[in-house]
Each structure stands twice: as C-alpha cells, then as structure tokens.
Amino acid sequence: MNRMVPVLIALGSNIDPERNLAQAVSMLSRHPGIQLDAVSRIYESAPVGTRTPQPAYLNAAVRVQTHLDPRALKEALRGIEAALGRVRSEDKYAPRPIDLDIAFYRQHELDPDGDPIPDPDILLHPHIAVPMADVAPDWEFPENDGHRRTLRQIADGLRFTEEELHMLTDRQLTVLSTDGHYAGDLDAQAGEVYDPAFESLVETMLERLGEDPSREGLRRTPLRVAKAMDFLTSGYSTSLEEVVNEAIFENCCQEMVIVKDIEFYSMCEHHMLPFFGKAHVAYIPDGRIIGLSKVARVVDMYARRLQVQERMTNQIADSMMQVLTPLGVGVVLEASHFCMMMRGVGKQNSSTVTSAMRGSFQEDPRTRAEFLQLVRG
C-alpha cells in the first residue's frame, strides 16, 4: 500500500470567489486520492502583479494527505480548476474562478513542470503565507542560505496593511469530519461556507415540495442536508488503504476471529431511504491479523454509499480477503429497510439477511456451520 504524504494546497479566487472556494474544498474532499485534514480561514487580498483593475481575491489554504505523486496531484487540481470554469492563459495575473497550487509536498523539494515546491512565493506574499500558517504553523521552509523557518515565523515576519490582506471573520470554509461521531459537524453555523451548489439543489427540492426555504425553520436546512448527505456517502471518498492504514500484524494464529454485532447505517440506491442493522465478520488468519476496529471501519466504508445489501455483503468479504489473504472469510448482514417499512408493502417488522463466504468458509461446511452458530449465539 502507498504511504500517504502530507501536502499544503493554496486556493485563490476573484470570480464569484466565495462560491468557488467552497466548491473547490468540497471537490477536494471527494477526490478518492485526497484526504482533507484542515481548512484555513478566508482572507481577502488585493490583486498582485497586475495594472488592470480587478476584483479583490479571496484566499485560503488546505492541509491534505495524498498517495498521489506531485504530477498526479497537480493533474487532479487542474481537473478541479477546469470543472469550476478556469481557463488558463499566458496572462498569469488574469482574473480566475479558482487557482489551486501545491505549496508544500512534505519533506520534499521538487520542481514538477517548472513549478518549484515548496512555493517560494510563501516568503513574499502574505495572502499565501498567512493561510498556510493557519493549517501548518510548524512546517519548516528550507531557505537558500540553509536556514529553516516555520510557516508561522514567515507569516509573522511579513509586513502588510489591512488593505493588502485581512481576515473575513464573518465567513468560514468548513470540512466535514467523517471519522467517529459527527452530530456537532451537522450544526449550521452563521457565516459557514460549505457547498453552495449542493445547498442550491436542496433549496430547489424544498420548493418543489411546496415549502419556503427562507422560512425560519428551513433557513439552514440546505446546509444541514448537504453536510448530512456528504457524511452518509463519505465511503465514496474513502479507500481501503486509508481505512486499514497498515494495521496488519504478523501472527501464527489460525483460529477463527469473529467481530459480531457491528452496527451500520446505509441508504438504498433505489429510493435513497435508509437501511440499518448489524454486520458479523469472521476470518481464519493465515499468518496475518487485522486490528479489530479496522473491521468495523471496513463495514462503515461500504455502508456510507448508496447500496444494495447483497453487494455490500460481498464487498466487505472481498476486502477482507484482499487485505489479509486469509484462509477464509465469512460475512453476514442483518438489516431493516425503510423502503419496505415506510413505503410500498409497509412491513415494519421485516428484515433481510445476506451472507458471503470465501475460502474455507465456502469450501468447508463445518467451518461455515461453526461461524453461523456463533453468530446466532
């Protein structure tokens, strides 16, 4: 598995900047090769290097982890820029809907395609250095004389006026945590900028239902729904590599390991209504075991997608085979589906049980019977 590398990315926009900064952060968070860790505050800055009058810029920085190499990451950033309407020209100071640049690729000094990393402009421009210091204050910049200064030291050492750069205290870009408990992340905060395009879709849906999105009870509902849906489908932007995170250990045990009653919550892909229940996952090691919490995280990764229970059961089994190459794997899911309970046949007490067997669990009836007996017990 490829190791994740910490990276800093600078963001800037002076065409519909509040919307485009938020959309860029949202798209970064959904990229399968990027894990978004921290987002800076928003800063407004005067245009640099141009004599033609332009709107002010909004600037920010994000700290991410990625397994992409610098060129592949740069290509991914260019793809996000293009999706947001950026057309690059020979005029490097032209107004732009979004600018995404790799400012730091941790502990590496690189020059992919003529763009030096770390970005030397960090030493000159507060609109780059100050947001960077927000998200990685202790990262050190290697200077030509051999000295190293932290980003916080660089930012504090730059002289600038309020007109050249100031923080927008009434607006804050946010990134939704997809790890652990999340209820607090769903609260809609005043001035929060999250995902304007998604929120607009929710507003349209409310209007289609005959509601008024501007009334008090619904005023921040589009933001809450956007954040909730991002969390509930966060499995799309999570990889098996990130979930396992090298928590594989050598062990000579060859007895069955079972993790029972793993609660999960998912949504059916047919009606986007919830289904929920418990997963039981077992494997017989062949020299390697996995941290027990990682089994639950594998279940969550596939549950947090639009799903059918049958596919999800097989995905969990195949993933356990992939990361452990054990003698066998057994997975059983028991779930209740709101698409049966709330609509259609309206059977509130119905449940669905699915299983997937691999290796010795499929080939040996005694192994399979032992697993199923232990699950029922």
Question: With a threshold of 0.85, does the pTM exceed it?
Answer: no
**Residue 171 pLDDT:** 80
Sequence ranges of the chain with CATH classification 3.30.70.560:
5-173
CATH 3.30.1130.10 domain span(s) along the chain:
241-376
Residue type for 358, please?
Answer: R
When the pLDDT of each residue in the chain is averaged and rounded to a whole number, the result is 90
At 190 the pLDDT is: 62
Indicate the SS3 state at residue 279: strand
Q: List every span in the chain annotated with CATH 1.10.286.10.
A: 183-235
CB distance 82 to 23 below 8 Å: no
Measured in degrees and rounded to the nearest 5, phi and psi for residue 262 equal: -80, 110
| Sheet strands (E) in the chain | 5-13, 34-39, 43-45, 57-66, 99-105, 140-142, 148-150, 165-167, 172-173, 192-193, 248-250, 257-268, 274-284, 288-290, 306-307, 328-337, 352-359
The string of pLDDT tens digits covering residues 203-232 is: 999 999 999 999 999 988 999 999 899 889
Q: Which 8-state DSSP code applies to residue 246?
A: T
Looking at per-residue pLDDT, the higher value among 160 and 176 belongs to 160
CATH number of 5-173, picked from 3.30.540.10, 3.40.1710.10, 3.40.718.10, 3.30.70.560: 3.30.70.560
Assess if CATH 3.40.47.10 describes domain 241-376. Answer: no
pLDDT of 58-117, one tens digit each?
A: 999 999 999 899 989 999 999 999 999 999 888 878 899 999 999 999 877 777 677 888
Residues annotated as part of the active site: 268-271, 309, 337, 339
Q: Is the dihedral of CA 300, 302, 304, 309 positive or negative?
A: negative
Kindly report, residue by residue over 259-303, the tens digit of the pLDDT: 999 999 999 999 999 999 999 999 999 999 999 999 999 999 999
pLDDT of residue 154: 95
Least confident stretch, 47-61, 100-114, 130-144: 100-114
Are 18 and 58 spatial neighbours (Cβ–Cβ below 8 Å)?
Answer: yes
For residue 323 the two structure tokens come to: 């990361």
Q: Nearest 5 degrees, angle CA 152-CA 100-CA 38? A: 50
β-bridge mates for residue 59, sequence order = 12, 43
CATH number of 183-235: 1.10.286.10
CB atoms within 10 A of CB 195: 25
